């Protein structure tokens, strides 16, 4: 697949990127090089190869999922214009 100059202009417009007429041929070459590389990758036989996230077998570090209030409610509500028992007080908006 190759990209023509009209497609480059359309991609730039959809991406909201200002592209001058002088830049279009360079961008066309870059986009075509990227597409050629993707085609080259799709030609590689990966039958029997398991997908992996890393070349090193590692376990993710996980923390215990414990619910806490952070013990800083006074600090959180300190600058509130109105507060009551560690809660923000806001005006009623629905009658």
Q: What is the DSSP string of the chain?
A: ----HHHHHHHHHHTT----TTTHHHHHHHHHHHHHHHHHHHTS--TTPPP-S-SS--PPP--------TT-HHHHSTT-SSEETTEE-------
- Asked if the model's pLDDT at residue 16 lies above 80, the reply is yes
State residue 23's pLDDT score: 96
| Average pLDDT estimate for 70-85 | 87
| Average pLDDT estimate for 76-88 | 89
Tell me the per-residue pLDDT of 31-49, one tens digit each, with 9 for 90 and over. Answer: 999 999 999 988 889 899 8
State residue 51's pLDDT score: 84
State residue 20's pLDDT score: 95
Tell me the per-residue pLDDT of 56-74, one tens digit each, with 9 for 90 and over. Answer: 877 888 888 888 777 888 8
| pTM recorded for the entire structure | 0.51
């Amino acid at each position: 697949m190759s990209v023509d100059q009209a497609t480059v202009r359309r991609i730039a417009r959809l991406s909201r990127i200002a592209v001058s007429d002088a830049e279009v041929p360079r961008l066309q070459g870059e986009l075509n090089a990227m597409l050629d590389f993707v085609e080259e990758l799709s030609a590689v036989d990966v039958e029997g190869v398991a997908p992996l996230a890393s070349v090193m077998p590692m376990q993710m570090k996980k923390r215990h999922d414990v619910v806490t209030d952070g013990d800083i409610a006074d600090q959180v509500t300190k600058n509130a214009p109105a507060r009551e028992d560690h809660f923000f007080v806001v005006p009623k908006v629905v009658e």
